[in-house]
Structure 1
Amino acid sequence: MLQTPNQTVVFLMGPTASGKTNLAIQLADTFKARIISVDSALIYKGMDIGTAKPDKTILEKYPHHLINICNPEDTYSAFDFMRDANKQIETAFKNGETPILVGGTSFYFNALEHGLSNLPESTKASKEKFNQLLHDKSSAILHKDLKKIDPQAANRIHPNDSQRITRALEVFELSGKTLSELQGNKQPSINHPIKKIILMPKRAELHKRIEARFLSMLENGFLEEVKTLKQNPNLHENLPSIRCVGYRQAWQYLNGEISKTDLIEKAIIATRQLCKRQSTWLRNEENALVLATNNIKTTLQFIKPCAHLSS
């Protein structure tokens, strides 16, 4: 069995529907590994179908850490992820495992590799306050509030990006300084060698997979999943969890705001737009193995220079 040294971290990245989970499993079959999810949607409990979460059979055989760690009403920041991922990486090293960080949330990968600005940590009180503000107002109104405080950050952040808007407002309240003032003072996160693998199928192929996958989600009970979420009085469509692609459109459909046809069209378009954003970010990654198809042999050859055969 191939065994990578305990100081190497594998980043397995790619846009949505690129086949990352299958490749991670193949790697875990080849050497002793710890799979760590890098996905801002898979963190939520009860959001399984619409996030394309690996099923129970896969998770029993191949545990994915940092999946199902939050309730949908909870706030979870890049700082939270960086802290939790580092704990998982160190646990992997202690257990003689190679950490395989797999997912599509590029901002999380970037935070791990390059660090984040030295911003104040969220408190329970501040999380509750800004979740309530988001519920009472809307991301668009809060964006206007941010523009008065920190126009530079407001220009960078989309009015619909509720998570980043509330975080910028929270930073100002906790520190008395704007996000723009504090950014740039980054602290390193992990100090281990990183092997980056990017799965990047052709755009036409990704679009086909995205459409087929969403239609399959509907057949497998996605709307029933969202109906269950809607029974939770703490949830509303401005929360980051409900703004995940597919969930927002399903929420609107169940509210009677759009038709079933519109739901399907809007969800597929939103997922393709997410795919485009992810792909754009990934094209700027350096020193990575880029694969158009799942190729375990090429992947292992890329990893092997820092690996040895166990006795």
Structure 2
Amino acid sequence: MAVWKEKTLISVVGPTAIGKTALAIQLAQYFHTEIISADSRQFFKEMEIGTAKPTQTELAAAKHHFINSHSIQQLFSTGDFEAEGLKTLDEIFKTHNLAIMVGGSGLYVNALINGLDEMPEIDLSIRTQLNEQFKTKGITPIQAKLAEVDPEYFAKVDQQNPQRMIRGLEVFLSTGQKLSTMLSATKKERPFNIIKIGLNTDRAILYNRINSRVDQMISNGLIEEVKSLSGFRAYNALNTVGYSEVFDYLDEKISLEEAISSIKQNTRRFAKRQLTWFRRDEEIKWFEPDEFNRITDHITQTINYKIIPQINNNLYY
């Protein structure tokens, strides 16, 4: 019989630009707790505008972890996030009964909630070969091959992220097995409860929000930010939506108008993949972004229905 544990992690997920940050801050204030970011690019302190990080005002409104915590020159894998995230949760739970995790990076959310399976040994010569191929021929051939050999993994992750594409392909070429079959086939037991909240809205509204966010990024100085990061452009974190398109503009491959249009289009595609990923999880309860009262009612009722009766009956793990 599953018995409700003492501590609870509230996971807030959904597509980019849906309003996850605002909700997480509201929840952290409402429940008097702290936030763990599971956004794979907001870890990096060098990347600000193009990652839509919380503002200084938002960061001051609730304590955040894993925002500006690493440099793009550091490798910070999903396994690293799982280990460091669990340690951070242990610290939060020393003084709080609840914690908030927010982010749209499905692999990182999954790592903290379900854990990661042991990954196989990789033939380093294959990794070197794929990295060289990326440098000389770009990401397109790698995308095409990965889509052929592991379409499930290809459909789930950011297809504009070379690190994700190379990782999926190197596993298959080294082992003959799909990475998609290795990702948390068996969930790890966690010493805390998990309540999953998903945000979504009408597609036209979401796409308008994405387009408006991109326009705001440009107004806020995205072009200048990307220019300042030119010396780091070989790092995987910068080969992502919002940065790679601006680099193409700076290289005079496309016009500024084309770059902005491509950022919007690629971000909309990314949002669709995020929703595809999260909709597979039947434990997620979905809400509109502005349904704060319904969300807090759901969280409170879930806790009350499961914790209070079991405390009264003196049931423990």
Normalising by structure 1, we get a TM-score of 0.81
Among 178, 181, 184, the residue aligned to 1:180: 178
CA distance in structure 2 between the aligned counterparts of 1:202 and 1:48, rounded to whole angstroms: 28
Q: Report the counterpart of residue 233 of structure 2 in structure 1.
A: 235
Q: Report the counterpart of residue 283 of structure 1 in structure 2.
A: 279
CA distance 1:299–1:154, shift in 2 (3 Å): closer
Report the Cα offset of residue 135 of structure 1: 4.2
Q: Report the counterpart of residue 206 of structure 2 in structure 1.
A: 206
Q: Report the counterpart of residue 23 of structure 1 in structure 2.
A: 23
CA distance in structure 1 between the aligned counterparts of 2:143 and 2:85, rounded to whole angstroms: 30
CA contact (8 A) 1:14 1:20 kept: yes
CA contact (8 A) 1:12 1:102 kept: yes
Report the Cα offset of residue 282 of structure 1: 2.2
Alignment of 1:251-262 (within 5 A): 251-262=247-258
Q: Report the counterpart of residue 32 of structure 1 in structure 2.
A: 32
CA contact (8 A) 1:118 1:186 kept: no
CA contact (8 A) 2:160 2:240 kept: no
Please state whether the residue corresponding to 2:260 is helix, strand or coil: helix
What one-letter code is carried by the residue in structure 2 that aligns with 1:247?
Y
Report the Cα offset of residue 88 of structure 1: 1.6
CA distance in structure 2 between the aligned counterparts of 1:246 and 1:14, rounded to whole angstroms: 19
Please state whether the residue corresponding to 1:12 is helix, strand or coil: strand
C-alpha RMSD of matched pairs (Å): 3.4
Please state whether the residue corresponding to 2:237 is helix, strand or coil: coil
Q: Report the counterpart of residue 166 of structure 1 in structure 2.
A: 166
Report the Cα offset of residue 219 of structure 1: 0.8
CA displacement, residues 67-109 of structure 1 (integer Å, 9 cap, x when unaligned): 2223224333221221122112111112225221101112222
Normalising by structure 2, we get a TM-score of 0.80
CA distance 1:291–1:214, shift in 2 (3 Å): same
What one-letter code is carried by the residue in structure 2 that aligns with 1:74?
Q
Alignment of 1:53-202 (within 5 A): 53-119=53-119, 133=132, 134-135=134-135, 138-140=138-140, 152-153=149-150, 156-157=153-154, 161-168=161-168, 177-180=175-178, 183=182, 186=185, 188-189=187-188, 191=190, 192-202=192-202
Q: Report the counterpart of residue 295 of structure 1 in structure 2.
A: 291
CA distance in structure 2 between the aligned counterparts of 1:58 and 1:138, rounded to whole angstroms: 37
CA distance in structure 1 between the aligned counterparts of 2:285 and 2:187, rounded to whole angstroms: 23
CA distance in structure 1 between the aligned counterparts of 2:59 and 2:255, rounded to whole angstroms: 35
Please state whether the residue corresponding to 2:74 is helix, strand or coil: coil
CA distance 1:235–1:264, shift in 2 (3 Å): closer
CA distance in structure 1 between the aligned counterparts of 2:242 and 2:77, rounded to whole angstroms: 21
Runs of 4+ in 1 over 3 A off after TM superposition: 128-147, 151-161, 168-173, 176-182, 184-190
Q: Report the counterpart of residue 273 of structure 1 in structure 2.
A: 269
What one-letter code is carried by the residue in structure 2 that aligns with 1:180?
K
What one-letter code is carried by the residue in structure 2 that aligns with 1:296?
F
CA contact (8 A) 1:79 1:121 kept: no
CA distance in structure 1 between the aligned counterparts of 2:151 and 2:58, rounded to whole angstroms: 41
Q: Report the counterpart of residue 244 of structure 1 in structure 2.
A: 240
Further displaced range: 112-121 or 66-75:
112-121
Further displaced range: 269-278 or 69-78:
69-78
What one-letter code is carried by the residue in structure 2 that aligns with 1:262?
E
Report the Cα offset of residue 281 of structure 1: 1.9
Please state whether the residue corresponding to 1:194 is helix, strand or coil: strand
CA distance 1:299–1:146, shift in 2 (3 Å): closer
CA distance 1:179–1:66, shift in 2 (3 Å): farther
CA displacement, residues 35-57 of structure 1 (integer Å, 9 cap, x when unaligned): 00011111111211111101122
CA distance in structure 1 between the aligned counterparts of 2:91 and 2:160, rounded to whole angstroms: 37
Please state whether the residue corresponding to 2:195 is helix, strand or coil: strand
Q: Report the counterpart of residue 9 of structure 1 in structure 2.
A: 9
Report the Cα offset of residue 189 of structure 1: 4.1
CA contact (8 A) 1:35 1:99 kept: yes
CA displacement, residues 144-192 of structure 1 (integer Å, 9 cap, x when unaligned): 8989xxx74488548854213433566589xx74553882675644512
CA distance 1:266–1:97, shift in 2 (3 Å): same
